[in-house]
Amino acid sequence: MQMKELTAQQLKPLLTDGGEIAFLDIREHGQYGEGHPFFSVHLPFSKIETLAPRLMPCRSVRCVLMDNGDDVSIRAAGILESLGYSNVNILKGGSFAWTEAGYTLFKGVNVPSKTFGELVEHEFDTKSVSAEELHSMQADGKELLLLDGRSRAEFHKMSLPQAKSCPNAELGYRLPMLVSNPNIPVIINCAGRTRSIIGAQSLSLLNISNPVYALKNGTQGWRLAGFDLVNNIAINNLPTPTKEALEHGREKAEELITRYNLNTVTEDIVQNWLKDKNQTSYLFDVRTEEEFSQGHVKNSISAPGGQLVQATDEKLAVRNARIILSCDNGLRSAITAIWLAGMGHKVWILQDSDMSDTADITPENVRVIQTMTLPELKMHIDNGLKILDASTGLNYRKGHIKGAKWVTRARINYEELGNPEDWVLTGSCRMLMGGIARDIEATTGKKFKGIVKGSIEEWRAQGLEIIATPDQPTERECIDYLFFVHDRHDGNLDAARQYLKWEIGLLALLDAQERSVLSPLHPVIK
C-alpha cells in the first residue's frame, strides 16, 4: 500500500490542486462536530468498513486520514488497505497539527453546504420574511403557500402552522400542482437558514410569477419570536405532476441547461465511467426515495436533490470526482446541478436514460453475526459473565444492562479487557458491534464469548435489570455525540441563537483557498 505522512502545510495545497482527493476526518461524530477542516469529510472509525465504499467507490483514490493525534489513523489505514484502497496517507499530528499550522477548524456539520447557502443569500439578495411578518400574514388570513423544504422526516418531527412538506428539489417540479394563482406569495422554510435560502432561490431560477420568499431563520426564528411549532405532523402527499406539467418541466430544464451551460451526458458513457478504476464517478438519483424504489437508472444511488445540496459531504468524499445526476424530466437534476457546480463540483446531467432497474447497489452495512440469543445472554450474566455495551454513548446513558461497561471502538483498550472469552458484547447497533468484534479477533486472535444485539425493551423482557446513567459516559468521553447546540430544536432558545449566529458567521471564517471553491453560478445566456 502507498502510504505516507503529510504535514498540514503539505496537505493544504493538495486540497485544491485539481486532482481527486478525499480528506477524511476519522474521529467520532462529537469530535468532528466540535471542529474540523473545511474540506474534510466525516468517516468515523467506528463505521469505516461500511461507509468507506459508499463515500469512496474508487479504491485507487488519493485519501488522507486525520485523527485526534492519537494514532487511530494508523489502524484506519490498515482497514482501508484490507478493503483495497491503495493510496492512503495520514495527516501527521492529526487535528492539533492543523490548528498549529494556523488553519481553521470549523464547528458544526455540513459546513460547506451551509456556508454556500449564506453566500447564495449575499450573492442574489434573497428575499425573505421574518417570523413576525409571516405570523401577521397568517393572523390576517392572507392567502399564501408555506412550504417546508427539509426532508419529510424532519417535517414530521416539527414545523410551522399551515406548512406543507415539499423538499427543496421538489419545489419547482411540484409547484404547478400546489398553486394556480400567480399572485399568491410562496414562502420556503427550513429549521434554520440554508434550505430556506436555497429553496427560495431554486424557484427564482425558474422565473415563476409568484413572489417567493425565504423564512428568515426558519423554525428557530419562529420560536425565538415567541410562536409555537407543530409537532408530530401528518405528512402530506406530494402532488403528482400532470402530463402537461412534466413537459413544461422538461422545457424549463432545457432552458436551465442552456442558460447555465450545464454539462449533459448519455447513459452509455456514464456506465463506462462507473467501471473506471482510476477515476471516481457518483451516479445520484435526485428524485424522491419512493420514486427511486419504483425504478431507476442502473447503478444509481438514491440521493434526493435537496438533501444532496444540503449535506453533500454525507454522500461523497472525493473532491473533483464526476457527479452525474438523474431524474425523469431533467428539472430536478438541472436545479441540483446549478447548486453543486456553484460549490465547486464537476457535475453532469444524465439524459435519455432507462429508469427500469430496481436493484439497490448501495453497499450493505458490514454487520456482526449474532452468536448468542437473549435467553442465553440472561443465563451467562446470571453465571457472572462480564458485559460490554457498544451502543452509542447517549443510548447507553438512557439505559443499559446493570454492570455493562460502555466501549467505543476508537478508544477501547484491548489489553485492559483481558481474555475476550470472559466477555459478552452487546449493543443496539450491529454496525458498531461489528467493528469491535473484528478488532478484538485481529488483536488477540480470540472471539468474544458471545455477541447479541438488543434494545432496552428486549433486555428488560428477559428479566435483566436495566439502569440509566444520565451523566455516564461524561460529555468528554461521549465522543460519538455532538453537544454543540444539540438542543436548539428542543426548547433551548439560547442554543438556537448560538446556532444562527454560528451559521451567519461561517463566511467570515473562510480563508482565500476555501472561499475560492464557492462560486454561485450566474446565467451565461440571459
Q: What is the pLDDT of residues 105-133, one digit of tens each?
A: 999 999 999 999 999 999 999 999 999 99
Residues 105 and 127 in one domain: no
Q: Across all residues in the chain, what is the average pLDDT?
A: 95
In tens, the pLDDT along 157-207 reads 999 999 999 999 999 999 999 999 999 999 999 999 999 999 999 999 999
- Which residues span the domain enclosing 440? 374-467
Banded model confidence at residue 227, pLDDT cuts 50, 70, 90: very high
The answer on pLDDT for 428 being more than 90 is: no
Q: What is the pLDDT of residues 20-59, one digit of tens each?
A: 999 999 999 999 999 999 999 999 999 999 999 999 999 9
Q: Could you tell me the pLDDT band of residue 301, with boundaries at 50, 70 and 90?
A: very high
Model confidence band, residue 366 (pLDDT cutoffs 50, 70, 90)? low
Q: What CA–CA distance (Å, rounded) separates 3 from 68? A: 19
Q: Are residues 17 and 80 in the same domain?
A: yes
**pLDDT tops 90 at residue 517:** yes
CA-to-CA separations, 127 to 196, 203, 207, 211, in angstroms, rounded: 10, 12, 14, 9
The answer as to whether 513 is a domain residue is no
> Does one domain contain both 184 and 221?
yes
Q: Is the pLDDT of residue 87 over 80?
A: yes
Confirm whether 510 is domain-assigned.
no
DSSP of 100-132, one letter per residue? HTT---B-SSSHHHHHHHHHHHHHHT--EE-HH
- What DSSP designation does 449 have? S
Domain-embedded: residue 408: yes
pLDDT at 368: 64
- Neighbouring C-beta atoms of residue 299, cutoff 10 Å: 18
Could you say which of 168, 201, 236 is where a domain stops? 236
User: Is 30 within the bounds of a domain?
Assistant: yes
Total residue length of the chain: 526
Same domain (yes/no): 153, 204: yes
pLDDT band at 2 (very low <50, low <70, confident <90, very high): low
Same domain, 221 and 303: no
Buried b / exposed e along 456-470 (16+ C-beta atoms within 10 A): beebeebebeeeeee
What is the CATH number for 441? 3.40.250.10
Shared domain for 257 and 216, answered yes or no, is no
Please indicate, yes or no, whether residues 148 and 229 belong to a single structural domain of this protein. yes
Q: Is 298 exposed, middle or buried (0-12, 13-18, 19+ CB in 10 A)?
A: middle
Please say which residue of 439, 467, 495 terminates a domain: 467
Same domain, 97 and 121: no
Compare 492 and 370 and report the one with higher pLDDT.
492
Cα separation of 368 and 41, whole Å?
Answer: 25
**What are the residues facing 158 on neighbouring strands?**
231
Are residues 125 and 220 located together in one domain of the fold?
yes
The band of 365, judged by pLDDT with boundaries at 50, 70 and 90, is low
User: Does residue 42 form part of some domain?
Assistant: yes
Average pLDDT over residues 385-408: 93
Same domain, 323 and 223: no
Based on the domain organization, do 29 and 94 belong to the same domain?
yes
Q: Of 449, 467, 485, which one is at a domain's C-terminal end?
A: 467
Residue 336 resides in a domain: yes
- Let me know if residue 230 belongs to a domain: yes
| pTM for this predicted structure | 0.95
Q: Tell me what pLDDT residue 161 has.
A: 98
Question: Do residues 69 and 86 both lie within one domain?
Answer: yes
- Give the total number of structural domains in the chain: 4
Instruction: Look at residue 299 and tell me if it is in a domain.
Output: yes
